[in-house]
Amino acid sequence: MSKGEDVDSIINGRRDGGSRTDRPARRGPSRAEAEAAVRTLIEWAGDDPEREGLRGTPGRFVRAYEDFFAGYREDPVDLLATTFEETAAYDEMIVLRDIRLESHCEHHLVPILGKAHIGYLPAGRVVGISKLARLVEVFAKRMQIQEALTAQIADTVQEVLKPRGVGVVIEAAHQCMTTRGIRKPGVSMVTSRMLGSFRDDPATRREFVSMIGSHRGSTHES
């Protein structure tokens, strides 16, 4: 698989790495069809979609989904396209920590709430810090599992900026576990993705973990 195909997979949020041309184009449902589906769900749940309090809910629900899943309409690679090369040869670690993260579990479509930390060792190019926060948001605003979200963020930084190394750690609570099913509030999941020197050099890894203030035991590598 070529690097170009890797980036293409990242942009489209897929796990299989296949080309966009190997799948037939399909027409998405209209807004009216989406609202009709919400009315069906309301009725299935046992309520009347025509009662006053629920009459406008299908429209509100669809507008909320447009915000929740806006990441499908944005290109994460474009976010990192503008970089700064006049950095006075700065080659120390750059870390952006405690980035608020709001996503949705692809298995139950309920919220994943937490924070992300991103670090990288530049190799002549740096990117505006707001772009890193936006990168998290673009991938978070898709139907996700946390392991894939962590990898997508790290892999995109590595592919586009080509730094000497990248580290991404995400800590999040999953409402599919805290509000339904096993119902265990207060539980958080930690995932990490280390590339380049962050994976190969234990000192670099320790510096990153120290900078983000992580005092937890072990992290799950995606």
Topology, domain 3-68: GTP Cyclohydrolase I; Chain A, domain 1 (1.10.286)
Q: How far is CA 109 from CA 65, 72, 176, 181, 190, in A?
A: 11, 15, 8, 14, 20
* Annotation says 107 is catalytic: yes
**Interacting residues of 30 by C-beta distance below 8 A, sequence separation 6+:** none
The residue from 5, 33, 66, 107 that is catalytic is 107
* Annotation says 35 is catalytic: no
The residue from 105, 137, 144, 158 that is catalytic is 105
pLDDT tens sequence for the chain (222 residues): 344 445 555 445 544 433 334 456 678 899 999 999 999 999 999 999 999 999 999 999 999 999 999 999 999 999 998 888 766 678 899 999 999 999 999 999 999 999 999 999 999 889 999 999 999 999 999 999 999 999 999 999 999 999 999 999 999 999 888 787 777 788 889 999 999 999 999 999 999 999 998 544 443 443
Give domain limits for the chain: 3-68, 83-221
**Interacting residues of 91 by C-beta distance below 8 A, sequence separation 6+:** 121, 122, 123
The residue from 102, 106, 147, 175 that is catalytic is 106
Q: Is the pTM of this model over 0.85?
A: no
* Annotation says 144 is catalytic: no
- Say if domain 83-221 classifies as CATH 1.20.120.1200: no
Write down the pLDDT at residue 88: 60
Residue whose entry in the numeric block shows the structure tokens 């046992």: 46
* Annotation says 102 is catalytic: no
